[in-house]
Structure 1
Amino acid sequence: MVEPGTPGLARVVEAFSASVLAADGGLDRPRLGALVFGNPERLAVLNGIIHPLVRERAAALAAAAPKGAVLVQDIPLLVETGQGPSFHLVLVVDAPEDLRLQRMIEHRKMSADDARSRIAAQASREDRLAAADVVLDNAGTKDELRDAVDLLWRHRLAPYAENLAKRRIAARPGGPVLTAANPGWAQQAARIAARLLAVAPREVLAVDHIGSTAVPGLDAKDVLDLQLTVRDLAAADRLEPLLAEAGFPRWPGTGPDNPKPGQPDPAAWDKRVHGSADPDRAVNLHVRAAGSPGWRYALCFRDWLRDDAAARADYLTEKRKAARRHGVDKSTAAYAADKEGWFTGYAAPRMEEWATHTGWQPPSYAAP
């Protein structure tokens, strides 16, 4: 976007003078970098020129790509510009800061001070890793990195692309396997929630992490449960193709929730269920109407378990019993059904007592 003769280069020269031009009329990038890095005001001016042009060009290239193509965008400032939720996956190529400094000095011929100012002007390593669905270790050789990319392509990216093209949920063979609580589940759920919120901001009221993986310290299947809140199920149906495009096709043949005590009307428990097309991150996405009994139950149950250690212990005992009974199953369907009696007969009354005692109330949403 800043090649000789382009409007982008003309605007850069207008903002920073002809001193940023090289002898051949092209952009002198080291000279420009020395002017803007370490100077937030000048950097903001440059970004205001370049970023809109780059995004416009990227959108045009994406629109012209063949159907089913895998599009990879290399965005150095993805975290700083908040673009992560726009992509199915965010991949970060990572190396320790001392090694990055060494490479910038050796390969880009930067001074140590210039290299440090360049790093200081960007998101921290911690923030980049927090935004990443995939982290590739770039502390080794180029061949090692290339092998890691090949492995990622074969086992995740290519199958994911095929699932997206076919509107297919990634296969999950085998029965229930409980794993130790993973502190990373919350961060993974937050990244996915941000993508879902971006699908249709006027239709999606909220996305909440629910289920066992939302309860710190509770062992669970390595499957994230998320609840997407809409005003009614007509909105859920309008969202169906958009969610599929975002990587969450609808589960075929899914019906209403099982009614809980005091809610005999099955229709009141109706929902839509979607799953993840990503073969490396299993997700159950429950789309429910705000105020419906199933929506309330999911949020109250999560908060009860978070607050009550005895309830967590009781639920873990039940989960382990059901997992033992269904460990050789070919799916987790029977495992889930086996726990329904515990939810309705044991958990529901105790959860409601807790809600009354603590004054728990579900969230409310203002009219748009």
Structure 2
Amino acid sequence: MLVDADALARDVVEPGTPGLARVVEAFSAAILTSDGRLDRARLGSLVFGNPERLAVLNGIVHPLVRERATAMVAAAPAGAVVVQDIPLLVETGQGKNFHLVVVVDAPDDVRIRRMAEHRNMGVDEAHARMAAQASREDRLGAADVVLDNSGTPDELRHAVDALWEGRLAPFALNLKEQKIAPRTGGPVLAPADPSWAAQAGRLINRLRVAVPEDVLSLDHIGSTAVPGLDAKDVIDLQLGVRDLEAADRIAPLLAEAGFPRWPGIISDNPKPSHSDPADWGKRLHGNADPGRAVNLHLRAAGSPGWRYALCFRDWLRADARAGADYVAEKIRVAGLHDVDKSTAGYAADKEGWFTDYAAPRMEAWVSRTGWQPPSYGDDAGDDAGPGTAQS
């Protein structure tokens, strides 16, 4: 199902609509054609290049478009893939409301040439249109998927088909069935990816929308959160809640947002052998999206397990030697399990390193530096920082 925001923007200012009446009230009848329709070229010449006038127009049209779009989405059949085509998605900050953001991209010179060829725009007018929109850098930064539109229509069509078959359709099915996307590979380490932090940030923003009342903290943890550290290509996030009853209560909301629960995960490893298992209890969720593996750890904010994840992250971030030693250990253990079909054996064989090597050195670092976990509450978790023993 397609919800085309451009088409809706035209519908809400058709003759006789309240939307058109409000536009005329704001800009005068001079923006109407002789038959009473909206003269888009005339209106465009008034608002593009004039941020104040553009804001007035957007303040009229955008709420009407969103109201229509919401009604269409609500009427979609269960399990349908709903694609919302929103040209100003980045400018209006709506990306966090969707399971996935796809940006169709082309270099600026290609966009200008196409506006001249297909819309009869002059170069100055094309630049004014682009200046009123988000920058290319901002659009790419908001994207989970980028489709290259600098080539032919057939090339773009093939890319869309591959995205649909390989990611969107299975993602929709997993959402409907509340299943985590299958992971069948063993412990393969990937080179450090500078985009991991931005990916985690987008996921964190979506989670805040999904469970706004129960999130005490949200942090990027695990190896992918330590700049420059090689890791399995899995984003680890930690969601701090008041207690595990809250974690169980919000599980359906997380599943609806694309993060179903892994069955049977109730506690952390590694943990001190003398500790109370209740202090290390957690719930573990994964991602329904086959294109981005995620482990979402739900722990009571302030608990030992919650603290350990954040401390381990910050220790690896601060101590380059510790990070190098951890990578060496991961390479060693991955070599022992290079034919495995899962990462269970890999994770179990790292436990000794955490308890015998990491724990005493990390606590010594805490004593030297006076490290304390971040405060949590309404403003916590905005820093998508690094590390947990699970990655």
Question: Which residue does the alignment assign to 2:292?
Answer: 281
Hey, what does 2:90 align to over in structure 1?
79
The within-5 A match list for 1:145-224 is 145-224=156-235
Counterpart of 2:302?
291
Q: How far did residue 261 of structure 1 move?
A: 2.6
Whole-angstrom CA distance in 1 between matches of 2:37 and 2:257: 39
Aligned match of 1:316:
327
User: How far off is 1:25 after superposition?
Assistant: 2.1
Task: Describe how 1:120-131 pairs up with structure 2 within 5 A.
Answer: 120-131=131-142
Once the two structures are TM-superposed, the CA of residue 260 in structure 1 deviates from its matched residue by 2.2
- The one-letter code of the counterpart of 2:327 is L
Paired residues of 2:174 and 2:180 also in contact (CA < 8 A): yes
Q: What is the alpha-carbon distance in structure 1 between the residues aligned to residue 377 and residue 83 of structure 2?
A: 38
Distance 1:328 1:316 in 2: 19
CA 225–200 in structure 1, closer or farther in 2 if over 3 Å, else same = same
1:327 and 2:338 correspond: yes
Root-mean-square deviation (Å): 1.3
Could you tell me how far 1:367 is from its partner in structure 2? 8.0
Deviation at 1:349, TM superposition (A): 1.0
For the 8 Å contact 1:258–1:266, the answer to whether it is kept is no
Distance 2:275 2:372 in 1: 22
2:211/2:254 contact within 8 Å kept: no
* 1:98 matched residue in structure 2: 109
Given that 1:224 and 1:284 are in contact with CA atoms closer than 8 Å, whether structure 2 keeps it comes out as yes
Letter in 2 for 1:65: A
Which letter maps to 1:44?
A
Report the 3-state secondary structure (helix = DSSP H, G, I; strand = E; otherwise coil) of the residue aligned with 1:135: strand
**AA in 2 matched with 1:341:** G
Deviation at 1:32, TM superposition (A): 0.8
Q: Is the 8 A contact 1:176 1:327 kept in 2?
A: yes
- Which of 213, 237, 244 pairs up with 1:233? 244
CA-to-partner distance for each residue in 1:100-154, whole Å, 9 max, x for gaps? 0111111111121111011001110000000000000000111111111001000
SS at match of 1:67: coil
8 Å CA contact 2:102–2:147 kept in 1: the answer is: yes
Amino acid at match of 2:350: K
TM-score, normalising length from structure 1? Answer: 0.98
| CA distance, structure 2, for counterparts of residue 259 and residue 153 of structure 1 | 39
Segments of 5+ residues of structure 2 without an aligned counterpart are 1-11, 380-391
Structure 1 stretches lacking a partner, 5+ long: none
CA distance, structure 1, for counterparts of residue 344 and residue 206 of structure 2: 27
CA distance in 1, matches of 2:41, 2:218: 44
Q: Give, in whole Å, the separation in 2 of the partners of 1:367 and 1:273.
A: 23
SS of the equivalent of 2:103 reads strand
Residue 263 of structure 1 and its aligned partner are, at CA, apart by 5.5
Alpha-carbon distance change, 367 to 80 in structure 1, aligned in 2, over 3 angstroms = closer
Deviations 1:258-314 (A, max 9, x none): 362375110110011000000010000001111011100000001100110110111
The residue correspondences of 1:228-267 to structure 2 (distance < 5 A) are 228-258=239-269, 260-261=271-272, 264-267=275-278
Q: Which has the higher contact order (CA 8 A, sep 6+)?
A: 2
Identity %: 73
